[in-house]
Structure 1
Amino acid sequence: MKTFQISIAALLLAAPAMAQEFNLDALIEAAKAEPPIIIYDSTGKIVDMAENFTAKYGVQATGQKVSANSQLEMLIRENQAGNILGDVALLTDTPAAIAQLLPAGVLESWVPPDLAADIPAGYQTPLAISANANVWAYNTETYPECPVSNIWQLTEPEWRGKVALIDPMTKGTYTDWFNQMAQHGDAALRAAYEAQYGKPLETDQPSAAAAWLAAMGANSPLMAEGDDRVSDAVGAPGQAEPFMGLLSSAKFRDNADKGYKLGLCAGMNPWVGWTYTKLALIATSTDSPNAARLFIHYVLTEEGILPQMLDGKMPTSTAIKLPEDEPSGLAEHLDKLFPYDASTGLDDWDTRQDWQDFWRVVYVR
């Protein structure tokens, strides 16, 4: 375990209840008196972010790319062993954090008081630093505009076997999306159905989300292991009948990197896509609580989060705008994204297996 000496100022800042008057300079001073920190994140961008943080503040930090699933196991084991290596976790599995890591005292959430006014309330408990978007895309070389304007169209015979998705059995964010639609998107899905077919949705399924998923599964979509394959199926040039697809907005960089022809389905009803959040949490037993908090403060600034913004991530801070050269063009359609609602994160966790079982039943290969 790391050993260190800490100043009185650092002890005061490390206390659970911070002084009403937040002092960034005092936090920086206290952080410099602590051991180096390690930050876990599922993107390699964290290496650059940690280096930039060290250069700015003189507080040594190292970024390590660790998948969300591996983070869960590592953080729990480190806490149980009393040997904290990861001081900060940037974690995309919000339900797991809500269900396991926060209640067990493995991690804690802290919102910088001086930046709190810029963070919408829905992103503060626990603190989310960014929203990652999965969006509907089409091939702009084949189609002058998106050939689909309503997600119910994707369940029709015309698109049988021609829609590419990440396999929900391999990625928890997809089953979380299913549950989020059932919990918070029912009215919008029903309205979209009526707009498409001129009549109300009638279904034996318990929700409009389940009805849409059942119809989608029966239409034999292509199940992919990751966004790269979806990007290939949708955006590769020279296709007579390319797929429609749902993929990370970050993959639109393939247009420049690979010559792909990905286009955002900006007019899709009811949503152009959906989001999941990336949390920024601190190990409760860290030897460097002030350095950890300083890093949290840093990634809530434009300078701190910029490397991930360039990779398609959307900051939760309203004080930060997406770069003008963000490749998907999503900045003009943020109000058409289905947002993640952490208030039902525990239910998302509890129903993951249920939604996977449902998908097994309705999916036709």
Structure 2
Amino acid sequence: MNLSRHFCLGTLATAVLLGSSAAHGASDDLQTLITQARQEGALTVYASTGKIVKQAREFSEKYGIKAVGVKAKAPQIIEIMSREAKAHNVKTDVALLEDTPAAITQLLNPGAVVSYVPADMQHKIPLRYQQPLAVVLAPNVVSYNTAHHQQCPITNLWQLTLPKWKGHVAMQDPTGKPAYTDWFNQMATHYDQQMRDAYQQQFGQKLVTHEHSAMAEFVKRLAANRPLLTHSDTNAAAAIGAPDAKQDFVGFISTAKFRKNKDGMKLGLCAGLKPFMGWKYPSLGVIAKGSAHPAAAKLFIHYLLTQQGIAPQTVDGKMSTNPDISLPAKEASGIGRYRNQLMPFHMDTASSDWQQRQDWQDLWNLSYMQ
């Protein structure tokens, strides 16, 4: 498998410039923006989380601007916004897209949407999350059953490839969940040495592989260990954390599933796992080019970058890219204490993640069927 690490940023850079503060007016005063937004009419916002309905409602209550939040899967949102752009009939104003590589390739690069960073946020949000703008980072973590173990039974990702865990790792099928193949590619591109170091820590010798990276070897071995593949995080969490589970599972889930612990689930974080206990998956905030409500759209992006605006999602462990915003004390997983143990996502190689998805899926399928 030949996975190229090189890609072209030219089109993306142009798309981001269209949405930059220079293009939209770096001197936009927030109160002026509010006044303009109130003159524009209703706003339509899409996101892959149902929390967008509450966020839109609370935005309306705060600013007196009608906003409608609509939940849809990322591919649906991308298709809707792409078709509206091609038809010059833009109805969707703002979208929060959890599939960064697809959003960049299919919406930003063709110019269907623009990325906008509010002027008063530019000095706060790390530059790596501004080109294009990532609004929130969703942690995906390795979890275990606290009824079976007092602490996580694994300390190293490579242990998931051992016979002990054959058939006892629960996760969504990577062929249907892009976050996994993007994680594979990010690890191969940026964290190959960390995976090699973790291998040596586990097995006492250097990794020898014919694959292009340590992560490719890990993916190959993990798939061959026949994980329990599910269609949703909910099902994976149920396999891992059921209080009456007869079998012992560990696996990958979103921190959002830890809220089920209040209903009796027994999900625990695998803190201290080498080289990472999970990864942070970014969601882009984009504005439709040609929106009839440009001021309201920019105001909504600004709102998402505030404590109040993102609060419905931070309770699930999702992390704002605005470092002034911390996770609430009532967040169920406790991931806030371990955020530095999550793999950072490199936005600048998202195009490579998109280009290599099929190769990673092929490697997974071939290894799983062996």
TM-score between the two structures when normalised by the length of structure 2: 0.93
For 2:298, give the aligned amino acid. Answer: R
Deviation at 1:98, TM superposition (A): 1.4
**CA offsets, 1:112-134, max 9 Å, x none?**
01011111111101101100111
Aligned partners of 1:99 and 1:339: how far apart in 2? Answer: 21
**Identity rate, percent:** 47
Alpha carbons 1:133, 1:276 under 8 Å: kept: yes
Q: In the alignment, is residue 269 of structure 1 matched against residue 271 of structure 2?
A: no
Deviation at 1:239, TM superposition (A): 2.5
2:284 matched to which residue of 1? Answer: 279
Q: In the alignment, is residue 55 of structure 1 matched against residue 61 of structure 2?
A: yes
Taking the TM superposition and a 5 Å limit, the aligned residue runs for 1:154-303 are 154-256=160-262, 258-303=263-308
Which of 315, 333, 351 is the aligned partner of 1:310? Answer: 315
For 1:213, give the aligned amino acid. Answer: V
Deviation at 1:16, TM superposition (A): 6.0
Which of 320, 323, 339 is the aligned partner of 2:325? Answer: 320
Count of residues paired in the alignment: 352
Q: In the alignment, is residue 81 of structure 1 matched against residue 84 of structure 2?
A: no
Alpha carbons 1:142, 1:240 under 8 Å: kept: no
1:9 matched to which residue of 2? Answer: none
Aligned partners of 1:201 and 1:150: how far apart in 2? Answer: 15
For 1:205, give the aligned amino acid. Answer: E
Deviation at 1:202, TM superposition (A): 0.9
SS of equivalent to 1:135: strand
Q: CA RMSD in A?
A: 1.5
SS of equivalent to 1:118: coil
Aligned partners of 1:95 and 1:326: how far apart in 2? Answer: 28
For 1:197, give the aligned amino acid. Answer: F
Deviation at 1:311, TM superposition (A): 2.4
2:13 matched to which residue of 1? Answer: none
Deviates more, 1:292-301 or 1:99-108: 99-108
1:152 matched to which residue of 2? Answer: 158
**CA offsets, 1:273-293, max 9 Å, x none?**
012111100001101100000
Q: In the alignment, is residue 119 of structure 1 matched against residue 125 of structure 2?
A: yes
Alpha carbons 1:53, 1:304 under 8 Å: kept: yes
**CA offsets, 1:128-164, max 9 Å, x none?**
1100111000000111111100010110011111101
TM-score between the two structures when normalised by the length of structure 1: 0.94
For 2:105, give the aligned amino acid. Answer: A
Aligned partners of 2:20 and 2:293: how far apart in 1? Answer: 9
Aligned partners of 2:118 and 2:26: how far apart in 1? Answer: 11
SS of equivalent to 2:366: helix
Q: Cα distance 1:192–1:27, how it changes in 2: closer, same or farther (>3 A)?
A: same
Q: Which runs of 5+ in 1 are unaligned?
A: 1-12
1:330 matched to which residue of 2? Answer: 335
